[in-house]
Homo-oligomer: A and B are copies of this chain.
Amino acid sequence: MRGTLPGFRDLYPEDCALRRHIVDTFLAIMGRFLFEEYDGPLLEPLELFTDKSGPEIAEQLFQFEDRGGRRVALRPEMTPTLARMAGSRAQTLRRPIRWCAVGEQFRYERPQKGRLRSFLQLNGDILGEQSYRADGELIGALLSLLAALGLGPDDICLRLSDRKIWQLLLGHFPCDGAAVLRAIDRYGKEPVAVTEERLRNVMGHSAEQFLAHWEQLRACDSLTALKTFFRKFPSQALDERMADWTELLQFLTDLGLGEYVTVDLSVVRGLAYYTGFVFEVFERSGAGRALAGGGRYDDLTEKLVGTALPACGFAIGDVVLANILRGKNLFPGGQAVPDLWIVCDRERQSAALAIATAVRRIGGRVVYELRSELPLDKQLRQADRSGARFALLPADRDWLLKNLSTGETSPSRAEDFPVLWTKIGEFARLEVR
């Protein structure tokens, strides 16, 4: 028997514990922002994805014909499923719809550092609200999650950009706007000269003029700098958009998250469907791949399911995130440690199991030897090696409770399970002191 397919992972308990920590934190923080969890199928009709992204997307998918002759694909992202689900209940769902999802995604790409063929993606979306406040709330939830995982503004930053500004700016240059944005999207992923060459190819004679402006625009890392830059392109639409920017940045500052945000118009997001604010989260050092990304996509649901539903959303993959948390030592580790190890002989087994049940019922993690007739001293050695906090040892007709980190002991009667657990609580407090 061989191993996994290339780009797929066996998650042993230590890795699984980190993934579970990420998912638990995600659900807790999204809950505080009143997002509700949804999910859809891992396998979908292929057309769900080609309708959104064009037939060429099929090249990057795990797709096949099922036994019933249907063209099907493993989902590469949640958005089309989300559009179907929210769109088909758009009339009855209370708005804004705040939904989040935790789901495996699949892409047939070359596996490399930070990129696998199968990965867990955390998604958050707010649908049915056009105000910048929805963008602010969405970005607020994303940054609060990263903060809760221990990533501060010195560790990561959110680069905020805007498709609307790009649209207004590119209106001043005769060009194919979508092609220009696809070229700009390559910036930072290849030598800048290569990106400039791409721009010359798609922009023709207006390229040189644009490139001079673009170099200045790239250097704008604050709202003030951005406003100064745009004095060269005065328009009411741009003024109004700058007002939205001011409001959004104030919203994030009021949420206590302003320090995470950097203005960076070089972020455009490759996908064609974004219509407003877009953003990506990177390590502050600039190293590595984007940790998260998202933006506003007001037209997609109408295009896909015929229901107009303004929306914004984000996605975070678990691979880059887990690497960063490991690298910064932000996961305390997941080895499961027993609260109580019960050492017992054959004669005490019934009493031991009853104690185990009582302690488990109030949340304790309890373990005991499963091998037949292992001597008591060997059992105690097992308990010690397990890292258990307490051991219960037979003593005369009662039990002795031993704090395995201090060696302190205290007699206990088997009948007094609640007393026993209180005693464990007391011991635990002693330990903390």
> A residues near B, CB below 8 A?
1-6, 8-13, 16-17, 19-20, 27-29, 31-45, 47-48, 51, 62, 64-68, 70, 72, 74, 81, 84-85, 89, 96, 99, 104, 106, 108, 118, 126, 129, 131, 133-134, 137, 144, 250-251, 254-256, 304-305, 334, 336, 338, 349-350, 353-354, 356-357, 360, 363-367, 370-372
| A293–B40 alpha-carbon span in the complex (Å) | 26
A13–B38 touching, CB < 8 Å: yes
- Compute how far the CA of A8 lies from the CA of B81 in the bound complex, rounded to whole angstroms: 12
6 shortest interchain CB distances as A-B pairs: A64-B64, A254-B353, A8-B41, A13-B36, A32-B360, A133-B370
Q: Which residue of B lies closest to A72 (CB)?
A: B5
Tell me the bound Cα distance from A47 to B1 in angstroms.
8
Say whether A5 contacts B43, CB under 8 Å: yes
Closest to A59 in B: B67
B43–A106 CB distance below 8 A: yes
Contacts of A367 in B (CB 8 A): 33-34
A100: min CB distance to chain B, Å = 10
Contacts of A334 in B (CB 8 A): 36
Residues in B with CB closer than 8 Å to A39 are 11, 16, 19
- Least Cβ distance of A309 to chain B in Å? 14
Query: B85 near A10 (CB under 8 angstroms)?
Result: yes
Question: A36 contacts which of B2, B36, B72, B336 (Cβ < 8 Å)?
Answer: B336
A8 contact set on B, CB distance < 8 A: 41, 43-44
**Smallest beta-carbon distance A165→chain B, Å:** 20
Residue pair A118, B41 in contact (C-beta under 8 Å)? yes
Cα–Cα distance between A401 and B182 once the two chains are bound (Å): 50
Task: Given A353-B255, A357-B256, check contact A16 B1 (CB 8 Å).
Answer: no
Interface centre among A42, A363, A370 (most CB of B within 10 A): A370
Q: Which residue of B lies closest to A106 (CB)?
A: B43
On chain B, the residues within 8 Å of A12 by CB distance are 38, 85, 89
Contact B38 A11 (CB under 8 A): yes
Q: Indicate if the CB atoms of B129 and A1 lie closer than 8 Å.
A: no
Further 10 A-B residue pairs, CB within 8 A, beyond A4-B44, A10-B38, A64-B64: A5-B43, A13-B36, A13-B37, A13-B38, A17-B37, A28-B363, A32-B360, A42-B118, A43-B62, A254-B353
Query: Contacts A34-B338, A38-B11 given: A74-B16 contact, CB under 8 Å?
Result: no
Rounded to whole angstroms, the CA-CA distance of A309 and B17 in the bound complex is 24
Give min CB distance, A407 to chain B, whole Å: 23
Please tell me if the beta carbons of B365 and A1 are within 8 angstroms of each other in the complex: no
Q: Which residues of B contact A85 (CB under 8 A)?
A: 10, 12
Question: Are B366 and A32 interface neighbours, CB within 8 A?
Answer: yes
Nearest CB of chain B from residue A258's CB, rounded to whole Å:
11
Closest to A350 in B: B254
Question: Min CB distance, A190 to chain B, in Å?
Answer: 25
Distance, CA A356 to CA B256, complexed state (A): 10
| Contact among B5, B254, B356 for A255, CB-based, below 8 A | B356
**23 chain-A/chain-B pairs, Cβ below 8 angstroms:** A1-B48, A1-B84, A1-B305, A8-B43, A11-B39, A11-B40, A19-B39, A28-B363, A32-B360, A32-B365, A33-B360, A41-B118, A96-B370, A133-B371, A133-B372, A134-B370, A137-B370, A250-B350, A251-B349, A254-B354, A254-B357, A255-B357, A256-B357
| A20-B27, A62-B66, A360-B144 known; A34+B353 contact, CB < 8 A | no
Do the beta carbons of A36 and B17 come within 8 Å of each other?
Answer: yes
Contact, CB under 8 Å: A108 / B62: no
Neighbouring B residues of A9 by C-beta, 8 Å: 40-41
Question: Distance in Å from the Cβ of A256 to the closest Cβ of chain B?
Answer: 5
Within the complex, what minimum Cβ distance (angstroms) separates A1 from chain B? 5
Q: Name the residue of chain B whose CB is nearest to the CB of A134.
A: B370
In the assembled complex, the Cα of A354 lies from the Cα of B64 at a distance in Å of 50
Question: What chain B residues lie within 8 Å of A104 (beta carbons)?
Answer: 42, 104
**Smallest CB gap from A19: residue in B:** B39
Contact B250 A336 (CB under 8 A): no
How far, in whole Å, are A370 and B349 apart by their CA atoms in the complex? 60
